[in-house]
């Protein structure tokens, strides 16, 4: 498992996580809401917890 994780990590560092055409639209349809950044998600969670 460690070997597989290393290979996956190396691939992410070399190529990044490039979406294919239509990925954002499919994910938006599955979620039923617009996509948001991790920063927006973290701020929303922190505000709900009363830490901001």
- pLDDT tens per residue across span 28-41: 999 999 999 999 99
**Token pair 């996956």 in the structure block, residue:** 8
Helices (H) and strands (E) in the chain, counts: 3, 0
Q: Where are the domains of the chain?
A: 23-52
| More confident position, 32 or 19 | 32
Average pLDDT over residues 20-34: 94
Is residue 29 within 8 A of residue 18, CB to CB? The reply is no
Question: pTM for the full model?
Answer: 0.51
């Amino acid at each position: 498992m460690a070997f597989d994780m290393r290979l996956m990590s190396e691939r992410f560092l070399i190529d990044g996580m490039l979406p294919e055409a239509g990925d954002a639209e499919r994910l938006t349809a599955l979620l039923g809401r617009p996509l948001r950044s991790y920063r927006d998600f973290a701020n929303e969670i922190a505000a709900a917890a009363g830490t901001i």
